[in-house]
Copies of this chain bind each other. A is one copy, B any other.
Amino acid sequence: MSTPREFLKFIDDNAENFIKRLADAVAIQSVSSDLSRRDDVIKMAHWVDAQLKSYGVTTELRDLGSHTVDGVELPLPPAVLGRIGNDSSKRTVLIYGHFDVQPAEKSDGWNTEPFILTEGPDGQLFGRGSTDDKGPILGWLNVLQYHFENKKELPVNVRFCFEGMEESGSEGLDDLVIKEAKQGGWFDGVDCVCISDNYWLNTRTPVVTYGLRGIAYYRINVSGPGWDLHSGVFGRTVHEPMTDLVLLLSKLVDVKGNILIPGIDAMVAAADEDERAIYERLDSSVAEIEAAAGGKIALVDNKVDLLMGRMRSPSLSLHGIEGAFSGSGGKTVIPAKINGKFSLRLVPPQTPENVTPLVTKYINEEIAKLGSKNTISVEYLNGGLPWMADIKHWNYEAAREATRQIYQVEPDMTREGGSIPVTLTFADALACSVVLLPMGRGDDGAHSTNEKLDRSNFLQGSKLLGTYLYELASAK
Contacts and interface: CB of A to CB of B under 8 A. Distances in A.
Given A237-B293, A255-B370, A297-B224, A330 B341 contact: yes
A203 interface: no
A152 to B, nearest CB: 39
A184 interface: no
Interface in A182-205: none
Contacts of A244: 255
Nearest to A229: B293
A316 B257 CA distance: 28
Contacts of A326: 320-324, 326
Interface in A338-387: 341, 343, 345, 370-374, 381-382
A170 interface: no
A317 B253 contact: no
Nearest to A259: B236
B331 A234 contact: no
Given A246-B318, A319-B332, A327-B322, A373 B297 contact: yes
27 contacts: A217-B330, A225-B294, A226-B295, A232-B416, A234-B293, A234-B417, A236-B257, A236-B310, A236-B345, A237-B306, A237-B315, A239-B298, A239-B299, A240-B317, A242-B319, A246-B246, A246-B249, A247-B250, A256-B371, A294-B336, A317-B332, A319-B332, A320-B324, A320-B335, A322-B325, A323-B326, A331-B341
Contacts of A317: 231, 235, 240, 242-243, 332, 334
Contact of A345 (B224, B231, B325): B231
Contacts of A325: 319-320, 322, 341
Interface string A209-237: 00001010100000111110111111111
A457 to B, nearest CB: 19
A417 B235 contact: yes
A419 to B, nearest CB: 6
B417 A237 contact: yes
Given A249-B250, A319-B324, A319-B334, 16 more contacts: A215-B332, A231-B315, A232-B418, A235-B417, A236-B314, A239-B297, A239-B298, A240-B317, A243-B255, A295-B373, A297-B374, A321-B326, A322-B325, A326-B326, A330-B341, A331-B341
Interface of A: 213, 215, 217, 223-227, 229-240, 242-244, 246-247, 249-250, 253-257, 289-290, 293-299, 306, 309-310, 313-328, 330-336, 341, 343, 345, 370-374, 381-382, 416-419, 448
Given A215-B332, A293-B226, A327-B322, A299 B231 contact: no
B234 A310 contact: yes
A184 B238 CA distance: 48
B299 A236 contact: yes
B418 A230 contact: yes
A70 to B, nearest CB: 13
What is the copy number of this chain in the assembly? 2
A319 to B, nearest CB: 5
Nearest to A312: B236
B321 A320 contact: yes
A297 B418 contact: no
Contact of A293 (B238, B242, B257, B418): B238
B237 A215 contact: no
A110 to B, nearest CB: 15
Contact of A233 (B237, B239, B290, B310): B310
A319 B336 CA distance: 11
A185 to B, nearest CB: 31
Nearest to A369: B255
A424 to B, nearest CB: 14
A295 B235 contact: no
Nearest to A218: B330
Contact of A331 (B215, B315, B319): B319
A138 to B, nearest CB: 25
A275 to B, nearest CB: 16
Contacts of A242: 317-320
A345 B246 contact: no
A335 B372 CA distance: 29
